[in-house]
Amino acid sequence: MAELQLLDIGPLDLDGGSTLPVTLAYRTWGRLNAARDNAVVVCHSLTGDADAATWWAPLIGAGKALDPDRHFIVCANLIGSCYGSTGPVSPRPDSGRAWQADFPDISVRDNVRAQQRLLRELGVARVELTIGGSLGGMLALEWAVLDPTVRRVVLVATSHAHSAWCIAWSEAQRQAITADPDWQGGFYAPDRPPAAGLAAARMMAMLSYRNPASFEERFGRTLQPAQPGIVTAPLENGEAKPLFAVQSYLHHQGSKLVERFDANSYIRLTRMANTHDVGAGRGGAEKVLASLEQDVLVVGITTDVLFPLAEQRTLARLLPKGTLRVLDSPHGHDAFLLEADRLEHLIRRWLGEPRPAAAHSTSSFSCAST
């Protein structure tokens, strides 16, 4: 059942004002139960896709936190992405040509509304759990707001409103992309994307996903031979100078993303994250979060440079039934992927805990490493 499937969910009225015909690409694991209330919605992050069982493998499986023997797990590719759902590489209904830079701005809420339609089509009556990390966590939170019948929520390394810091990171990355001449205002030839700019953006992003200590441990000042395609100054004898291993690593990460991701999607989805603010148009975040009745597990990572722990502390504090768990990891933001086994353990334990009867339980704080 985990094959990529496509569903035309019809025209969607976007927050931006226009109407977009949407197809969602999604995968499912497990079966919907008779009560139709065992659905788990997994939300992917910026450059992720619908194949949650690959990028979050330790979380999904028999006996795991997300168990296909008990849950009906659904993961849909984001609108605006380039892995099957409607996005900048999709054809425009009017011309049949790809949207490219004309693709409308979409919001986190637009994406959640699209996923709500998908789940309805799949026969789901009530969602048992929404879960996501980073950008995925923003969707999981909006799910809880837009559908009060969602029972539980897990938010990992995320925030209730995209911070100035995160907006700044993404703006510098977009600047690197649009500085590439092959960007062409977003109407680049498919075989000539703004590769160097997108690579620079990814290199920058990798810094925000990791941490000084993890880089030091992994690379230090280790050198390696020069590589074609990485600019180094020639030595006196004309040979290229050696590279620091960390330089080579970054270029490798840049090249890998260029091969698998679309620059317009990168711009659209980072802009989408920028507009994330759960309180916008609803009287503010404090009010909205205070109104949520779901049990919410908020996971923060000790060394997260991009979404610092303070943001998850605030989020957990503002949720009436919020529980904060801290993942003590040296890997920074990416620990939500790199430490998925420890994350799974932590989520499974929380899912198994007895739920307090009172609506306003005290947030509990504990450290995953203890």
Binding site for a second copy (CB under 8 A): 16-18, 104-105, 161-165, 167-169, 171-172, 174-176, 178-181, 196-197, 199-200, 203-204, 206-207, 211-213, 215-216, 218-221, 231, 233, 235-236, 241, 244-247, 249-251, 254, 271, 274, 277, 305, 308, 310
In angstroms, give the least distance from the CB of 69 to a second copy: 41
Contact in structure between 44 and 52 (CB atoms under 8 Å): yes
Cα distance between residue 283 and residue 107, in whole Å: 18
- For this structure, is 85 an active site residue? no
- For this structure, is 69 an active site residue? no
Q: Per the residue annotation, which of 304, 329, 334, 363 is the catalytic one?
A: 304
Cα distance between residue 294 and residue 147, in whole Å: 10
Single-letter residue type at 292: L
Q: Do the strands 322-327 and 365-367 form a parallel or antiparallel pair, or are they unpaired?
A: parallel
Contact in structure between 184 and 160 (CB atoms under 8 Å): no
Burial call 109-144: b when 16+ CB within 10 Å, e when fewer: bbbbbbbbebbeebebeebbbbbbbbbbbbbbbbbb
Instruction: List CB contacts of 268: < 8 A, sequence separation 6 or more.
Output: 80, 87, 88, 103, 105, 106
In angstroms, give the least distance from the CB of 79 to a second copy: 15
Between residues 200 and 335, which has the closer beta carbon with respect to a second copy?
200
Q: Which of 26, 56, 28 has its CA nearest to residue 40?
A: 28
Q: Which of 152, 73, 143 has its CA nearest to residue 113?
A: 143
Between residues 1 and 179, which has the closer beta carbon with respect to a second copy?
179
Between residues 19 and 149, which has the closer beta carbon with respect to a second copy?
19
In angstroms, give the least distance from the CB of 188 to a second copy: 13
- For this structure, is 110 an active site residue? no
194: burial class by Cβ within 10 Å (0-12, 13-18, 19+)?
buried
Between residues 28 and 248, which has the closer beta carbon with respect to a second copy?
248
Between residues 34 and 233, which has the closer beta carbon with respect to a second copy?
233
In angstroms, give the least distance from the CB of 139 to a second copy: 19
Q: Per the residue annotation, which of 90, 107, 134, 363 is the catalytic one?
A: 134
Between residues 135 and 154, which has the closer beta carbon with respect to a second copy?
135
Contact in structure between 176 and 204 (CB atoms under 8 Å): yes
- The helix (run of H) or strand (run of E) holding residue 297 is strand 295-301
In angstroms, give the least distance from the CB of 235 to a second copy: 7
In angstroms, give the least distance from the CB of 87 to a second copy: 14
**Active-site residue list:** 134, 304, 333
